[in-house]
A and B are shown apart, each in its own frame.
Chain A
Amino acid sequence: MGDADAARSDGDRPDPAPSGPEPICGAPVTVALGETTVHPNRDELVGVVRSLRDDGWLMCLDVTAVDHLANAAIRTLPEGVEPERFEVVVVLISHERRERLRIKVQVPADDPTVPSLFEVHPGTEALEREVFDLFGIAFDGHPDLTRILMPEDWDGHPLRKDYAVGRIPVQFKGDPGPR
């Protein structure tokens, strides 16, 4: 019972280091809501993920992105990290530590390119294709960067904030008309 509790606090809320979060692989770190986030820049991303993998962060669970158009969301970035329009978010897990780690990379709107993690975690292939499809962020070194969810000839990237929610008029047979 006590052991199980210990495991839970280990897994859910890693105690932040007493002297503030220390940089991981040279990249600044923030801790919020018990979740640790590493903020490498674009060039460091693959190196950081690779050394984390060799350090026990074996699996890459998730690659996604956030479009901070007009900076609507309030962001907590460490000093020295310039906010950009896009953020690519990578979630890693260490089975030994029973912890997750989030990696966030700032991606400018005028050059939405990030190095691909395929060489380190081949399981990111579909996830990166999804981010490319829905956000238009290109992944350098990805083996097959094509649309995955939307049709191949689709225009635009739906999850961008400047892509409006569209409605297709549907005419129902036998519509009684407006009530």
Chain B
Amino acid sequence: MTTTDAQAAEGTERPVAAVTDEGDQEIAPRRAVAGGPEVLREMGSVMRLSEAEVAAFGDVESDPTVATTTIMNMGPQHPSTHGVLRLMLELDGERVVRTKPVIGYLHTGMEKTGEELTYLQGPTNVTRMDYAAPLFNELVFSLTTEKLLGVEVPERATWIRMLLCELNRMSSHLLFLATNGMDVGAVSMLIYGWREREETLRVLERITGLRMNHNFIRPGGVAADVPDGWEEAVGELIEMIPPRLDEYEVLLSDQPIYRDRLQGVGVITAEEAIALGATGPILRSTGYAWDLRRDMPYLAYDEVDFDVVVGSYGDCFDRYAIRLAEVRESIKIVAQVLDRMPPGDYRVQDKKVTPPPRARIDESMEALIHHFKIFTEGFRVPPGEAYTAVESPRGELGCYIVSDGSAKPYRMHVRGPSFVNIQTLPHMMRDGLIADGVAVISSVDPIMGEVDR
């Protein structure tokens, strides 16, 4: 992609585009985005039939002289549906005509639960939504709570959060690479991807104490300072991963069978992705450079150097290549955090939010009461409402909290990127082969815990 004269001329009208210094990655001049519905209605790729309506077709006498379509069920128990996604497929032979994603098999009412938990307990709840990237859930919940509280998190806490999130992005994308390989037949990739993911999780375990569902990022900062020797552990990891990624390139990117399975499959345009609300690698695969870390920076992403990776065709291969490249970008960010980790406190010293240090409890009655109050009653959050979003490995992960001034959120809503992204499935699978459907599901990388919540 080069910046053409037309783009440069237009740049004067779009001052925001001039903000970035990454010339190649400025937001490309947009074609007029005609309201998506017109496009989508024409395609008619979403099947909107209930169970009962579908079941009623069973009684219809079939006439062998008339061409008919078949309705087939795929999932929820299927190795390549990534958990419990179920698809109702209308097939014309081997060709997919319409699709209906059926979800809810993992619904556990986490938003309702969130109304019963204090703000301090909240991260334990939200961390279980996107279980492949739990730290992002904790982060977005904490950021929203802090916005309502009006507290400023110390610099060190911000950088620890950034370190953890980028490590988590690496582990999440490595999980994708592993399962994507397996889904399209490169089964050995599962072992390699899992191996590197496990190394990443080991570092996260070293820092947070847990491999998954860390509950480490909390309103006011993080749960503890990084442990001694974290630099070595992280340093070894980011030394080890890049050569392994080169091996993946040999195993997957350079392999003709793998490319044939993904290239040109599941194509989506930028207009469709925007109309359907798709974010993250799906949107970026269409060539639309939109990454919250760069475009609406949070934490300290405006102080680190990294590239936003975009595709050009919007197909499954682009989505794979973007995620592979994003692991490298995350390593770049982690390396910068390693060099520049600021000294200071790992949580805000605000008596209303922070429990007193353990040593104080032994000598001060007030500290004991204070500690007890924070962990039983919780801290009160001023009335108001806030929406914050972060760039999770799957797209815009948003959290909307309404506070009524008590210690529990009045309403806690999480905008899961997978939940919205799943709507692109019918459009990407339309007119493809049923075998390609597996590649498409895999490339959307839905995490059902976040879809169903």
Mark A residues whose CB is within 8 Å of B. Answer: 1, 3-8, 10-12, 32-33, 35, 50, 53, 58-62, 64, 66-67, 72-74, 76, 89, 91, 95-98, 100, 102, 118-127, 130, 134, 143-144, 146-152, 158-159, 165
Contacts and interface: CB of A to CB of B under 8 A. Distances in A.
Interface residues of B, number: 62
Contacts of A50: 35
Nearest to A160: B112
B275 A121 contact: yes
A7 B297 contact: yes
A64 to B, nearest CB: 5
Q: Is the interface of B mostly helix, strand, loop or mixed?
A: mixed
B166 interface: no
Contacts of B19: 3-4, 6-7
B295 A11 contact: yes
A123 B400 contact: no
Nearest 6 A/B pairs, CB to CB: A123-B277, A11-B296, A4-B302, A144-B48, A73-B404, A123-B276
Interface in B28-56: 33, 35-37, 40, 46, 48, 50-51
A152 B410 contact: no
Contacts of A97: 16
Given A11-B295, A123-B36, A149-B107, 5 more contacts: A11-B297, A59-B274, A73-B402, A98-B295, A100-B387
A97 B413 CA distance: 25
Contacts of A125: 46, 423
Contacts, number: 152
A32 B385 contact: yes
Interface stretch (B342-350, B366-374, B414-422, B433-441): B414-422
Interface of B: 14, 16, 18-21, 27, 33, 35-37, 40, 46, 48, 50-51, 103-104, 107, 109, 111-113, 116, 147-148, 274-279, 290, 295-298, 302-303, 383-387, 389, 396, 398, 400, 402-405, 410-411, 413, 415, 419-420, 422-423, 452-453
14 contacts: A4-B297, A7-B302, A32-B384, A62-B400, A62-B413, A72-B410, A74-B383, A98-B16, A122-B276, A123-B36, A127-B420, A144-B46, A149-B452, A158-B109
Contacts of B295: 7, 11, 95, 98
A7 B303 CA distance: 12
Contacts of B116: 165
